[in-house]
Amino acid sequence: MGVLTTERLVVREWELDDADAALEIYGVDKVTRWLTPAMGQIADTDAMRLLLQAWIEDQPNMLPPRGRWAIQRRDTDEVIGGLGIRLLPPYEEDLELSWQLRPEAWGHGYAAEAGAALISWAFTQEIDELFAVARPSNTRAIGTAKRLGMTWVGETDKYYNLRLQVFRIRPSDLIDG
Ligand SMILES: CC(C)(COP(=O)(O)OP(=O)(O)OC[C@H]1O[C@@H](n2cnc3c(N)ncnc32)[C@H](O)[C@@H]1OP(=O)(O)O)[C@@H](O)C(=O)NCCC(=O)NCCS
């Protein structure tokens, strides 16, 4: 995919040196409590480096637009979040877009800004829809989905045996078409 640049952010591949910054996202209960059960909460920098290493090794083998990326601020170079696109288990038919920010970065529109750039790129990769799922009480994630122009399509427990709100976006939903 290369690097995506927005007004305030860069979306790029993960690097091992991101471990400390990534731990501020994936090692924090305020974030991980909302993620899928498979993700869990990362205990320390060593564990974070191992996970990043696995993500970095996986990346070239993932069929685009699947992948995992870091969100970096352009003004401070700080890594403040992550984005992912993957097939939702167990049926692996629906592509899920997911986003995570370190709590200090919430409330600035960063997830929506980075997510919009990733969606635009994803729709150049011969796919016709992307989904997002969120627990009904995850009002921030639901707000981001709506801000991204995603449409609520219902509630399901088919993905993780969790009751989840489902949102979808198609190329025709993009503001610039
Ligand atoms: C979900 C998550 C990324 C949302 O973070 P967020 O900062 O609220 O997301 P957005 O990028 O949509 O930003 C919207 C907020 O920024 C504010 N904002 C400030 N400047 C803005 C700008 N220039 N543009 C847009 N919004 C802006 C909005 O008013 C809104 O704040 P509010 O909800 O307090 O009104 C974050 O809460 C998180 O990491 N949660 C844990 C992980 C998670 O749940 N992931 C989703 C599961 S798929």
Residues near 57 by Cβ (< 8 Å), separated by ≥ 6? none
> Ligand 1: does its nearest atom lie under 6 Å from the Cβ of 147?
yes
CA of 139 to the centre of ligand 1 (A): 10
- Residue 152 belongs to domain spanning: 4-173
88 pocket-lining for ligand 1 (C-beta < 6 Å): no
**What percent of the chain shows pLDDT beyond 70?**
98
Question: For residue 68, is pLDDT > 80?
Answer: yes
What tokens were used for 61?
Answer: 């083998």
Angle between helices 139-147 and 110-122 (to 10 degrees): 50
Q: Whose CA is nearest to atom 13 of ligand 1?
A: 109
pLDDT at 167 over 70: yes
Whether 94 has a pLDDT exceeding 60, the answer reads: yes
CA distance 131 to 111: 15
Mean pLDDT of the chain: 95
Amino acid 176: pLDDT: 57
pLDDT at 161: 83
Residue 66 pLDDT exceeds 60: yes
The rounded Å distance from CA 137 to ligand 1 centre is 14
Q: Which atom of ligand 1 is nearest to the CA of 114?
A: 11
Domains identified in the chain, total number = 1
Q: Any idea which residue has 């997510």 for tokens? A: 115
98 lines ligand 1 (CB under 6 A): yes
CATH number of residue 50's parent domain: 3.40.630.30
With a 6 Å cutoff on the Cβ, whether 149 touches ligand 1 is no
Q: Report DSSP letters for 11-70, one per residue.
A: EEE--GGGHHHHHHHHT-HHHHTTS-TTT----SHHHHHHHHHHHHHHGGGSPTT-EEEE
Give the model confidence (pLDDT) of 107-137 as tens digits. Answer: 999 999 999 999 999 999 999 999 999 999 9
108 pocket-lining for ligand 1 (C-beta < 6 Å):
yes
Cα 112 to ligand 1 centre (Å): 7
pLDDT-based confidence at residue 40 (cuts at 50, 70, 90): confident
28's CB contacts (< 8 A; 6+ apart) are 41, 102, 103
Token pair 């990733």 is found at 118
Using alpha carbons, select from 82, 52, 84 the residue that is nearest to residue 67.
84
Question: Does 39 sit in the ligand 1 pocket, CB within 6 Å?
Answer: no
Give the burial class of 8: count Cβ atoms within 10 A of its Cβ; 0-12 exposed, 13-18 middle, 19 or more buried.
middle
